Amino acid sequence: MTPSLVRLRVTASTQDELHRLAGEGAPAGTAVVAETQQAGRGSRGRGWVSAPGGLWLSVLWRGQPDVAQLLSIRAGLAVAALLDLLGGLPPARLKWPNDIIVDDAKVGGILCEGRWGAANGWVAVGLGLNVTNPVPSDARFRPASLAHWRPDLDAAAMAGPVVAALSRLPADPVLSSEELEAWRERDWLAGRRLRAPVTGVIGGMSATGRLLVDTDAGRLELVASDGIEV
Same domain, 29 and 129: yes
Same domain, 62 and 143: yes
Q: Would 102 be classed as within a structural domain?
A: yes
Q: Is the pLDDT of residue 118 over 70?
A: no
pLDDT digits (tens, 9 = 90+) for 33-77: 999 999 888 776 677 778 999 999 999 999 888 888 899 999 999
Same domain, 38 and 123: yes
Q: Of 76-85, 125-134, 195-204, give the lowest mean pLDDT range.
A: 195-204
Same domain, 194 and 95: no
**What's the mean per-residue pLDDT of the chain?**
92
Residue 217 belongs to what domain range?
A: 189-222
Q: Would 227 be classed as within a structural domain?
A: no
Where residue 137 falls among pLDDT bands split at 50, 70, 90?
Answer: confident
The count of structural domains within the chain is: 2
Same domain, 146 and 208: no
**Sign (positive or negative) of CA dihedral 91, 95, 100, 101:** negative
Same domain, 109 and 41: yes
Same domain, 136 and 200: no
Same domain, 161 and 203: no
Same domain, 218 and 157: no
Same domain, 177 and 199: no
Same domain, 89 and 201: no
Looking from the CA of 194 toward its CB, the CA atoms found within 13 Å total: 28
Same domain, 121 and 206: no
Q: Is the pLDDT of residue 222 over 80?
A: no
Query: pTM for the complete prediction?
Result: 0.94
CA-CA distance, 11 to 32, in Å (whole number)? 10
